[in-house]
Amino acid sequence: MNNDDYRPIVEKELIQRIGFVIEPENLFSNLKAKIENQTFEIEDLSNAIKNVENSTRGHESEDDFIHLFDDMDLNSSRLGNTN
């Protein structure tokens, strides 16, 4: 078995234990690496958040995540200059 063979098993276990899945490319360490390589875009974080929300769909944890991040404005100028 390669790593991809374990993916459905690991995802199922994560949903059962913590209620959501964070894709490897969306882990903090990988987002941080993109920042350091100057390839990070705010859409990367936005997509990561959407992916976490989507991973809960159809599961018991879905109600916990509905509208959780609705008030988060990643494009707000209060977060600082993006240039």
Residue 72: its pLDDT value, please? Answer: 92
What is the model's pTM? 0.81
Look-up: residue for tokens 């936005």?
A: 46
Q: What confidence tier does 82 reach under pLDDT thresholds 50, 70, 90?
A: low
Q: What is the pLDDT of residues 17-41, one digit of tens each?
A: 999 999 999 999 999 999 999 999 9
Q: What confidence tier does 81 reach under pLDDT thresholds 50, 70, 90?
A: confident
Contacts for 42 with CB less than 8 Å, ≥ 6 apart? 74, 75, 82
Radius of gyration for the chain, computed over Cα atoms and rounded to the nearest angstrom: 15
